[in-house]
Structure 1
Amino acid sequence: MSAAASVEAIDLIDYVINQGNGVKGLSKLGLKTIPHQYIQPPEERLDQNQIVDEESIPIIDVSNWDDPEVVSSICEAAAKWGFFQIVNHGIPLEVLENVMEAGHKFFELPSEEKRKYLKENSPTPTVQLKTSFSLAEKVLEWKDFLMHWYFPDDESVNLWPAVSKDQVLEYVNWAKPVIRKLLEVLLKGLNVKEFNESKESQLMGALIVDLMHYPLCPNPELAAGVGRHADISSITILLQDEVGGLYVQGTRADQWIHVTPVKGALVINIGDILQIVSNDRYKSIEHRVIVNKSRNRVSVPIFLNPKDDAVVGPFPELLESGEKPIYKNVVFSDYFNFFFSKGPEGKKTLEFAKV
């Protein structure tokens, strides 16, 4: 049976999900065309004419976090672009390369090995193998990912996959002080003086690390690694490899800017939660990932979310002067569940929290 015929003959969902083959398994079948379930409608494909080459998101050297120029560059980038890259953040290159390599190694494991981490098989709820975005969407995404919920001093990390566990944990330990610094700077830009316990539970109550894998795709122009969406996190810290493929919406809705990989840099983006608490001063921005015909792409995002039961709304400090709130107070778990109840839809989730 030819590869093209075999994909018609298999139950796609069973093959990709239940059997743990993932999109990686489809990619290895040597298909000439992708299954119709992965073909994006024309209006959701990236139009090459919309890519703006002369613009790029800011790259900020953070070797001195206390430098007023660094502070203003970060806050300005968060307000104008919603995205920026940071360099000289202090995380050794080796740590970054190791976690990226761990991403490749996990997805090279045999299917029966990976299948152990599917939700219903996983030895702990804190690690789960997933594919696509959610199965609620109309078109599937060309990606697989291993999701880790990180809690300090949680013994369940010992049950994470041996091939990647140590690298993920080492990366998180190095990233945590950088994340805290970033949030302190962003709060400073809002004239919020105190990073107290309530702010901490609103901004960094939960930390999720994904090993994302975008396998080779025979028709990258028809597929999406990730469709247009904005993150619901407070901030996302993304480590991307040299393959590239991340596009960010420009200052106009019909413009897309490629986030060129910079060795050793971290891509930072503002999520919906920071847009809500800042009462629209900082912006979460739509972005998408395009897949590649000749190279597998790996990236490692860290999503910083509020605690599930945290109530999120504009910071009181911003409303003291009589400024009108744009958002109401929402329980984060309600916001999270609403986002995942449908496919990615740009920034529509924010409507859920509007006054």
Structure 2
Amino acid sequence: MGEVDTAFIQEPLNRAKLCVIEAEEIPVIDLSPITNKAVADSSSIEGLVKEIGFACKEWGFFQVINHGVPQSLRENIEKASRMFFGQSLEEKRKVSRNERNAMGYYDTEHTKNVRDWKEVFDSVAKDPTLVPLTTDENDDRLTHWTNSSPQYPPHFRNIIKEYVEEMEKLSFKLMELIALSLGLEAKRFEEYFMKDQTSFIRFNYYPTCPNPELALGVGPHKDIGALTILAQEEVAGLEVKHKADQEWIRVQLIPNAYIINLGDIVQVWSNDAYESPEHRVVVNSEKERFSIPFFFFPAQETEVKPLEELINDQNPSKYRPYKWGKFLVHRFNTNFKKRKEDNIQIYQFKIK
């Protein structure tokens, strides 16, 4: 990527601090009560639900251990990620995304109109994935996003498919725990994801940066979906803004753990009981960094709005409904180029 040019330079307010605050208090949650039958009982599951509820309310971020995802599978996909990004730019661009299909390779993603210091390869969980053709609310036409198939590394598609299956299993388990923590039926969210979900997996590569105090791997943002499951390798870089004191906190590395964060959809479904946390990724001048997030998204026809069970006279609905598919396509269409208008956000659907 070369030297930092003006496209990458963050506003002073958003630039990373050289002094890093690491927080041990970001919750680390043991999922053994739902992944290990030997320790599963009603008492341990009840305690787990309380832990999830606390983490969602106080942070919107937590890490999970004993999650049931095979370590060998994670090692395979991390190795494949390094192999893919280790190719020449010419080879990687053979599977570039385009205006018609959002899946594939690109290195021009923007967060709030500032270019991110990273390269990306995106792949939908369900190939093909049905999405609206345009963002026009009056246009009912649909299209498909399909996966690119790199020639290298070998069997990349099969490795992704196997890993995505495990991510989906973990996502459903976590959404059940979140539902229970809100006082809902365990399977309350399942209907939105059982058919035609729009989930996808992303491979991130953050090269070394000559001026890490000026650029960010990903600028400050909130995730738009329901849930994000992140695998980060041996180089830390993810930071979350703690809403209590507005400080940027570096998420510590825990071997084989997954970092979980809530997205905007859960914030809306919960009617602001839980909040989608703001986070960012910092880069450094000495080590490149790789990460693999899985974004758990509902079907494109989903109408996102606060759940009726969580609305009453004392707690009226805080959001107008919005169509998930239109929202998703709008964000993908505008994330990889600089734009004049602000990106669509859930606060635009807030009832004042």
Task: Give the TM bin, normalised by the shorter chain.
Answer: 0.7 to 0.9
User: Structure 2 vs 1, CA of residues 36 and 211 (structure 1 numbering), >3 Å: closer, same or farther?
Assistant: same
Question: 2:181 and 2:195 mapped to 1: Cα distance?
Answer: 15
**What is residue 112 of structure 1 aligned with on the other side?**
90
The one-letter code sitting in structure 2 at the alignment partner of 1:100 is: E
Question: 1:75 and 1:158 mapped to 2: Cα distance?
Answer: 38
Question: 1:204 and 1:285 mapped to 2: Cα distance?
Answer: 26
User: Structure 2 vs 1, CA of residues 157 and 203 (structure 1 numbering), >3 Å: closer, same or farther?
Assistant: closer
Secondary structure, aligned partner of 2:272: coil
Confirm or deny: 8 A CA contact 1:238 1:266 kept in the other structure: yes
Please, what TM-score do these two structures have when normalized by structure 1? Answer: 0.81
Most deviating of 125-134 and 217-226: 125-134
**What is residue 149 of structure 2 aligned with on the other side?**
159
User: Structure 2 vs 1, CA of residues 339 and 252 (structure 1 numbering), >3 Å: closer, same or farther?
Assistant: farther
- 1:288 corresponds to which of 280, 285, 292: 280
**What is residue 27 of structure 2 aligned with on the other side?**
58
Secondary structure, aligned partner of 2:267: helix
Confirm or deny: 8 A CA contact 1:127 1:160 kept in the other structure: no
Secondary structure, aligned partner of 2:228: strand
Question: 1:72 and 1:338 mapped to 2: Cα distance?
Answer: 36
Question: 1:300 and 1:346 mapped to 2: Cα distance?
Answer: 27
Q: After superposition, where does 1:1-355 map in structure 2 within 5 Å?
A: 26-27=1-2, 33-48=3-18, 51-65=20-34, 67-120=45-98, 125=101, 127-134=103-110, 137-151=112-126, 159-163=149-153, 164-193=156-185, 195=187, 199-201=191-193, 205-252=197-244, 254-319=246-311, 323-337=315-329, 339=331, 341=334, 349-355=345-351
Question: 2:106 and 2:229 mapped to 1: Cα distance?
Answer: 20
Secondary structure, aligned partner of 1:103: helix
Question: 2:273 and 2:205 mapped to 1: Cα distance?
Answer: 33
The one-letter code sitting in structure 2 at the alignment partner of 1:99 is: I
User: Structure 2 vs 1, CA of residues 54 and 149 (structure 1 numbering), >3 Å: closer, same or farther?
Assistant: closer
Question: 1:282 and 1:318 mapped to 2: Cα distance?
Answer: 12
Please, what TM-score do these two structures have when normalized by structure 2? Answer: 0.82
Equivalenced residues, count:
321
Question: 1:92 and 1:216 mapped to 2: Cα distance?
Answer: 30
Deviation at 1:137, TM superposition (A): 4.8
Deviations 1:275-325 (A, max 9, x none): 000011111100000012111111000011122221000011112576301
Deviation at 1:48, TM superposition (A): 4.0
Confirm or deny: 8 A CA contact 2:83 2:152 kept in the other structure: no
Question: 2:209 and 2:77 mapped to 1: Cα distance?
Answer: 23
Question: 1:177 and 1:138 mapped to 2: Cα distance?
Answer: 35
User: Structure 2 vs 1, CA of residues 180 and 290 (structure 1 numbering), >3 Å: closer, same or farther?
Assistant: same
The one-letter code sitting in structure 2 at the alignment partner of 1:138 is: N
Confirm or deny: 8 A CA contact 2:26 2:59 kept in the other structure: yes
Question: 2:128 and 2:109 mapped to 1: Cα distance?
Answer: 29
Most deviating of 111-120 and 188-197: 188-197
Confirm or deny: 8 A CA contact 2:124 2:147 kept in the other structure: no
**What is residue 30 of structure 1 aligned with on the other side?**
none
The one-letter code sitting in structure 1 at the alignment partner of 2:107 is: T
Deviations 1:216-254 (A, max 9, x none): 111111110000001001000000011000000013353
User: Structure 2 vs 1, CA of residues 286 and 158 (structure 1 numbering), >3 Å: closer, same or farther?
Assistant: closer
Most deviating of 282-291 and 199-208: 199-208
Question: 2:178 and 2:188 mapped to 1: Cα distance?
Answer: 14
Question: 1:303 and 1:109 mapped to 2: Cα distance?
Answer: 25
Confirm or deny: 8 A CA contact 2:302 2:323 kept in the other structure: yes
Question: 2:244 and 2:118 mapped to 1: Cα distance?
Answer: 28
Higher-helix-fraction structure: 1
Question: 1:114 and 1:53 mapped to 2: Cα distance?
Answer: 35
User: Structure 2 vs 1, CA of residues 185 and 106 (structure 1 numbering), >3 Å: closer, same or farther?
Assistant: same
The one-letter code sitting in structure 1 at the alignment partner of 2:69 is: I
Confirm or deny: 8 A CA contact 2:220 2:279 kept in the other structure: yes
User: Structure 2 vs 1, CA of residues 143 and 192 (structure 1 numbering), >3 Å: closer, same or farther?
Assistant: same
